[in-house]
Structures are given as structure tokens and as C-alpha cells.
């Protein structure tokens, strides 16, 4: 068996398995999944805390539309899941700014030099 140099196994050479993990688009896709998972977990945690503590966070205009217990649960799920995803995205942008001095927003990469 002959020795295969790293140049021969680099992506696009056709020898060896394709490893595109170092490409930025794959990193941002994976990061997007992690941010979504973090946001959903945060939202789920906030919904559970709301149900356990019964924090009265319903504005007056929503109380007339959802006067029932289940209506308040639906409202809390919508508010806290959306809030969790937004907070997760903001934390991801802040993390990338502090660590890499760049971040991606809506598929466009921004960098601070």
C-alpha cells in the first residue's frame, strides 16, 4: 500500500473521503442548528418556569383574547419560544464577535477589523 500525501487527500482531488468540515458554510450551518437548539431549549425552560411560577406576564390586550388557562399557556409558548430563539441568536452573534470578530446574519458574513 502506497503512502498518500495530505495534498492528494485534500478536497477536490478525488482521492480519499471528501472532508468539507473546514469550509465556512458548513460551520455556519452547524452553528445555526446549535443556536436553534439553544433557543428552543431556553424557550422551553422559560415556558416551564412560567407554568411553575405562574408569572403574570399577560398584557391587558391579550387577556381579553385569551381569558382561559390554556390561552395563557399558548401565549407563553409563543412569547417565550420566540424570545428564546432571539436571545440565542444574539448570544451567538456576540460570541462570534468576541471570539472571531465576525458573524453571519441572514446568510451574509460581516466582519469587524
Q: Give the tens place of pLDDT for each residue, 30-89.
A: 666 666 667 667 777 777 766 666 655 555 555 555 556 667 777 777 777 777 777 777
Q: What does each C-alpha distance from 56 to 32, 51, 68, 78, 110 come to in angstroms?
A: 32, 10, 13, 15, 39
Q: Give the tens place of pLDDT for each residue, 8-28.
A: 555 555 554 555 554 455 555
What is the predicted pLDDT for the residue at 77?
75
Amino acid at each position: 500500500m502506497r503512502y498518500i500525501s495530505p495534498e492528494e487527500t485534500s478536497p477536490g482531488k478525488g482521492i480519499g473521503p471528501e472532508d468539507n468540515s473546514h469550509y465556512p458554510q458548513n460551520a455556519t450551518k452547524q452553528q445555526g442548528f446549535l443556536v436553534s437548539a439553544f433557543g428552543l431549549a431556553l424557550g422551553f425552560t422559560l415556558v416551564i418556569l412560567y407554568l411553575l411560577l405562574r408569572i403574570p406576564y399577560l398584557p391587558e390586550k391579550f387577556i381579553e383574547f385569551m381569558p382561559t388557562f390554556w390561552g395563557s399557556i399558548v401565549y407563553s409558548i409563543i412569547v417565550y419560544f420566540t424570545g428564546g430563539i432571539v436571545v440565542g441568536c444574539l448570544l451567538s452573534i456576540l460570541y462570534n464577535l468576541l471570539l472571531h470578530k465576525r458573524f453571519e446574519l441572514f446568510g451574509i458574513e460581516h466582519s469587524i477589523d
